[in-house]
Structure 1
Amino acid sequence: MEFLETFKQWMVDHPTSAAIIKYLLWVLFIVGLLQFFRRILRRNLPDSNTRYKSQKGVEVIGYIILIILSLSYFTGNIKDFTLAIGLLTAGITITLQELILSIAGSMYIFFVKVYKPGDRIEINGIKGDVIDIDSIYTTMMEIGEWVSSDNYSGRIVKLSNAFVFRGPIYNYSRDFPFIWDEFDIPVRYGSDTELAKEIIMKIAAENLSEYVNASKNEWKTIVERYYIEDARVEPSLAITLTDNWIQFNLRYIVDYKRRRLTKHLLNELIISEIEKTGGKVQLASATVEIVRIPTIQVDKDQ
């Protein structure tokens, strides 16, 4: 009891400190309540998409409540409010600059819709699929690094939301979930080039028609929304003459998540069809081939 009386007297003698302690207790209570609601939602909502959005909604509501509490509480209890705000601002500017930028970045991501969970992005030199966005970090499943093509490396990367203000953000899936890809097919000189063109374009047309049809409407939306010229989404073939072979460059549009699989399928089918031509079309390589050894005549008498 004596301790309580002493504590009450201390609270009366130090109103500013008492106000800060009460404020911190309220903050702890609200944060604990929010965590309780998040745990309930996590257990009772079976759908992952609904569960994720609900938890983010609770988080946003919690921030709003804390902001309102801070403004109303301090403005009514701290006498020298101007000095307190000045000191608080200086401390925040020096110490919590990264945190403020991260929170501002999360709001920017949310309202501008820079990216969302499920998007494939590249930011700050890191490429991956976004699996979570909170008030401070963006969590990504990394793609690439020591793994070739668009495969997961297995590492989960947490990146500060402040990076949305510090450089470009490449989004593979927002607005237009397709990308253009290409590869080269070296064909020997002397091959039937018309037959080679027919084989390549036929295989491309048959296996890429789904992506072409789906991307046409998406691209129309892009053209109407942004200042950009119309582009061809059908497969195209360009031929270049080199010192060693005729280079066929196939360019096509594909779903951003199926780039590697589609390239593998096209290469496999093209090789199979070329082998069926009976030598009319032959693939070239950079290896040295001795076609004929010249005949050497030696005069024994000399």
Structure 2
Amino acid sequence: MYLVGDRIQIKGFRGDVVEISYLDTSILECSGDYLGNDRRSGRVIRFPNSLILKEEVTNYSGPQMPFIRNETPLQIAYTSDLKFVENCLLEAEQKDFKEQYPYLTTHKNDEWEPMVYFRINTYAWMEAVVSYPVEPTDTTGRRNRILKYALPKLNEAPGKVQFPEGTLR
């Protein structure tokens, strides 16, 4: 089920519910054909309520769980100091979390804890991925804030972390 204000996905359409009538539901599309992020596209999608009986509905928000998990990957060299990278990314995530959700910083919940993991990307680079909780409507904003906090600290330590440069990216 969903309510006005929830971010849902149904039959390939994703957006924020703005109106529910007896016959149909209207959502403000997010993502979509022309966007590579989760921002609203400006398009309104209207579908008949009978569709919810035939299709799977994913509700990304709601009172049961205010957050979804999001990830931000960074390409780094295999020779980077992985502990340093992990600490920088976690510090950036925590700084943003405390600023965005000051009322939650004293209420620890294991499901909301951020984590950093590493995965192989190419022969020359790997990815450091920070995974964190975010409100469904703030995924792009939170990703950008975390990068703005983390990148200066990572760039200040070229001996500990190297990034792809030039045509090697």
Fold match (TM-score > 0.5): yes
What pairs with 1:61-80 in structure 2 (closer than 5 Å)? none
Amino acid at match of 1:162: S
CA contact (8 A) 2:31 2:39 kept: yes
Q: Give the C-alpha shift of residue 203 in structure 1.
A: 1.4
Q: Give the Cα–Cα distance (whole angstroms) in 2 for the partners of residues 130 and 199 of structure 1.
A: 36
Q: Which has the larger radius of gyration?
A: 1
Cα offset, 1:264, TM superposition: 0.9
Q: Which residue of 2 aligns with 1:276?
A: 156
| Higher relative contact order, chain-length normalized (CA < 8 Å, sep 6+) | 2
Q: Is the 8 A contact 2:92 2:147 kept in 1?
A: no
The equivalent residue for 1:191 is 80
CA contact (8 A) 2:115 2:130 kept: yes
User: Cα distance 1:149–1:141, how it changes in 2: closer, same or farther (>3 A)?
Assistant: same
Q: 1:216 to 1:136 in 2, by over 3 A?
A: farther
Q: Percent identical across equivalent pairs?
A: 24
Aligned residues: 164
Cα deviation code 1:106-154 (max 9, x no counterpart): xxxxxxxx11211111112211111111111111212222123122222
Higher helix share: 1
Residue 153 of structure 2 corresponds to residue 153 of structure 1: no
Q: Is the 8 A contact 2:67 2:133 kept in 1?
A: yes
**In the superposition, relative to structure 1, how do residues 216 and 115 fare at CA in structure 2: closer, same or farther (>3 Å)?**
farther
Once residues 59 and 105 of structure 2 are traced to their aligned partners in structure 1, the CA distance between those partners, rounded to angstroms, is 16
Contact 1:182/1:252 (<8 A) preserved: yes
- CA separation of 1:215 and 1:115: change in aligned 2, threshold 3 A: farther
- Matching residue's letter, 1:236: M
1:143 corresponds to 2:22: no
Report 1:160-239 matches (<5 A): 160-174=48-62, 175-209=64-98, 211=101, 214=104, 232-239=111-118
2:5 pairs, out of 96, 118, 124, with: 118
- Aligned-residue Cα RMSD (Å) equals 2.6
Distance in structure 2 (CA, Å) of the matches to 1:285 and 1:159:
46
Q: Contact 1:241/1:247 (CA < 8 Å) preserved in 2?
A: yes
Counterpart in 1 of 2:143? 263
**Structure 1: how far apart are the matches of 2:120 and 2:58?**
34
TM-score, reference length from structure 1 = 0.49
Structural mapping, 1:82-93, within 5 Å: none
Q: Tell me what 1:129 maps to.
A: 16
